[in-house]
């Protein structure tokens, strides 16, 4: 199935393939939250947040948090991501 038939880019499909617990990080990362801020809001350990971010970056093929944030905001997913969570 190609992106034309699904209406989503490869980035969006990769992003939305992540487990819910990882997807919950995306709006916070896109807003520029630090690992400590994410830990305070979502309550995992900071080490767990670091692991989740590593997995998110690998899955979305982004080299940095900044690249991820730019792609999330640019895709239009940022304001509606919570509604798309499974």
CATH class given for the domain over 8-84: mainly alpha
Structural contact between residues 27 and 81, judged by C-beta atoms closer than 8 angstroms: yes
The residues, any chain, with a CB within 8 Å of residue 68's CB and separated by 6 or more, are 26, 29, 30, 56, 57, 60, 62
Domains of the chain by residue range? 8-84
The pLDDT of residue 81 is 72
Over the chain (86 residues), the average pLDDT of each successive run of 10 is 63 92 91 94 94 96 95 83 64
Q: What is the pTM (predicted TM-score) of this model?
A: 0.82
DSSP state of 61: T
Distances (CA, A) of 40 to 4, 28, 37: 39, 11, 5
The pLDDT of residue 6 is 60
């Amino acid at each position: 199935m190609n992106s034309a038939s699904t209406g989503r880019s490869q980035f969006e499909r990769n992003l939305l393939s992540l487990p819910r617990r990882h997807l919950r990080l995306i709006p916070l990362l896109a807003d520029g939250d630090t690992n400590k801020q994410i830990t305070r809001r979502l309550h995992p350990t900071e080490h767990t947040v670091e692991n989740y971010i590593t997995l998110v970056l690998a899955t979305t093929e982004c080299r940095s948090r900044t690249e991820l944030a730019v792609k999330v905001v640019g895709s239009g997913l940022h304001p509606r991501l919570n509604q798309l969570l499974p």
